[in-house]
Amino acid sequence: MPIRVMILNGPNLNQLGTREPHIYGKVTLPAIEASCRQFAESIGASLAFHQSNDEGALIEWVQAARREADAIIINPAGLSFTSVALVDALAAFPGPVIELHISNIHARDPLHRHSRISAVAKVVICGLGAYGYIVALLSAARLLNGLPKTLPAPLRIGPK
């Protein structure tokens, strides 16, 4: 059975490509989704990919992931810094949660520095731009012991 990964994207990420490109780059969310789908297929993973500007919708997907996914990759965007409800939903998910930010939030202004989500994340990836999504997928597959044996051995090092 293929590993099942759910990628969630929070508020304003539907505007990637034109939104503050000096911070978030020029790659659009549909382009990111297409790359993720291609990469997931290449490693034999199944992928659900969602975006919403609505906190409640994201929480519904996290709850559904308890039945439908083995790992969650989430870019909570602005909700990183405010949403206790999203933290609570993610805390109830039994598999690995990978928190992802396109920018390096640690080098940002005080409003964008302290993610509440990190407290319930197994992994935090930030600052890699759109490429962070691919690294996150690779990480999810590795954490679930789901990387194909045909990949070069260094890619299968660890995680412990």
Collapsing DSSP to helix, strand or coil, 101 comes out as strand
Nearest to ligand DHK of 13, 147 (CB atom): 13
Nearest to ligand DHK of 80, 83 (CB atom): 80
**In this structure, are residues 134 and 36 in contact, taking their beta carbons and an 8 Å threshold?**
yes
Q: How many CB atoms lie within 10 A of CB 46?
A: 15
Least Å distance between CB 111 and ligand DHK? Answer: 8
Q: Does 9 bind ligand DHK (CB under 6 A)?
A: no
In the annotation, is 24 catalytic?
yes
User: The tokens of 138 are what?
Assistant: 């690779």
CA distance 135 to 40: 11
CA–CA distances in Å: residue 16 to residues 10, 28, 76, 79: 11, 5, 14, 16
Q: How many residues bind ligand DHK (CB under 6 A)?
A: 10
User: The tokens of 86 are what?
Assistant: 């999203």
Candidates 101, 137, 140, 142: give the one binding ligand DHK (CB under 6 A).
Answer: 101
Candidates 51, 75, 83, 139: give the one binding ligand DHK (CB under 6 A).
Answer: 75
CA distance 29 to 139: 20
Candidates 58, 89, 102, 140: give the one binding ligand DHK (CB under 6 A).
Answer: 102
Least Å distance between CB 67 and ligand DHK? Answer: 27
Q: Does 12 bind ligand DHK (CB under 6 A)?
A: yes
Catalytically active residues, by annotation: 24, 101
Q: Which chain residues interact with ligand DHK by CB under 6 A?
A: 12, 75, 77-78, 80, 101-103, 105, 112
